[in-house]
Amino acid sequence: MITNISSFIRNRAILALGLLYATNGLLLGIFFSSLPGIKQRLGFDDGSLGLSLFLSPAGAITGMLLSTRVFSKVPAGKWMAAGYMALCFLMMVQVNAPNRIIFWICLYCYGLISFLNGVSVNTTVNKMEKDQNRLFMSTCHGMYSLGGAVSTGLAAVFFAFHLASGWQILLLAVVLLCVLMGNRKHLLVHSELIHSRSGIKLPSFTILGISFICLVTFMAEGCVADWSAIYLKEVMHSPAAFIGLGYTGFAIAMTLGRLNGDSIISRMGGKRIVVFGSLMAATGFTLVVTAPYIAVVIVGYILVGLGCSCIVPVLFTASANIPGVSMVEGYAMITTGGLIGFLTGPSVIGFISKHAGLSKALSLLILMALLAAFAAWRNKFLVNIKKAEPELEYDETIY
Q: pLDDT tens across 23-51, in order?
A: 998 898 888 778 778 888 999 876 677 67
Instruction: Please say if the pLDDT value at position 373 is more than 90.
Output: yes
Radius of gyration of the chain (CA): 20
CB burial string 197-206: b at 16+ within 10 A, e below = eeeeeebeee
Nearest to 41 by CA among 98, 122, 119, 109: 98
58 plus 84 within the same structural domain: yes
Looking at 149, 170, 197, which one is the last position of a domain?
197
Specify the length of the chain in residues: 399
More confident residue, 32 or 147: 147
Q: How far is CA 48 from CA 105, 277, 341, in A?
A: 15, 36, 21
pLDDT of residue 318: 83
Instruction: Please say if the pLDDT value at position 88 is more than 50.
Output: yes
CATH number for the domain harbouring residue 12: 1.20.1250.20
Instruction: Please say if the pLDDT value at position 347 is more than 80.
Output: no
Instruction: Please say if the pLDDT value at position 149 is more than 80.
Output: no
Instruction: Please say if the pLDDT value at position 3 is more than 70.
Output: no
113 plus 219 within the same structural domain: no
Q: What mean pLDDT, rounded, does the chain reach?
A: 83
- The pTM is what? 0.76
175 plus 260 within the same structural domain: no
- As a whole number of angstroms, the distance between CA 303 and CA 368 comes to 16
pLDDT of residue 363: 94
Q: Which long-range contacts (CB under 8 A, 24 or more apart) does 373-379 make?
A: 373/274, 373/275, 373/278, 373/279, 373/282, 375/209, 375/210, 375/212, 375/213, 376/209, 376/213, 376/271, 376/274, 376/275, 376/278, 377/271, 377/275, 378/209, 379/206, 379/209, 379/210, 379/213, 379/271
272 plus 151 within the same structural domain: no
Looking at 177, 197, 217, which one is the last position of a domain?
197
Q: pLDDT tens across 292-341, in order?
A: 999 999 999 999 999 999 998 898 888 777 777 766 777 777 777 787 77
219 plus 314 within the same structural domain: yes
pLDDT of residue 203: 60
Q: ∠317-325-190 over CA atoms, to 5°?
A: 60
Nearest to 17 by CA among 159, 132, 155: 132
151 plus 261 within the same structural domain: no
- As a whole number of angstroms, the distance between CA 387 and CA 59 comes to 36
Q: How far is CA 113 from CA 51, 62, 90, 108, 342, in A?
A: 20, 9, 10, 9, 18
Instruction: Please say if the pLDDT value at position 97 is more than 90.
Output: yes
**Residue 202: φ, ψ to 5°:** -65, 120
217 falls in which pLDDT band (50, 70, 90)?
Answer: very high
246 plus 390 within the same structural domain: yes
Q: Give the chain's domain count.
A: 2
Nearest to 31 by CA among 174, 178, 155: 155
381 plus 259 within the same structural domain: yes
What end-to-end distance do the CA atoms of the chain give, in Å? 21
Kindly state the average pLDDT of the residues 192-202: 62
80 plus 21 within the same structural domain: yes
243 plus 124 within the same structural domain: no
110 plus 244 within the same structural domain: no
Q: What is the dihedral of CA 248, 141, 262, 196, to 10 degrees?
A: 160
Q: Which residues span the domain enclosing 277?
A: 198-399
Q: pLDDT tens across 107-141, in order?
A: 999 989 988 998 889 888 888 887 877 778 888 88
Looking at 156, 181, 197, which one is the last position of a domain?
197
213 plus 188 within the same structural domain: no
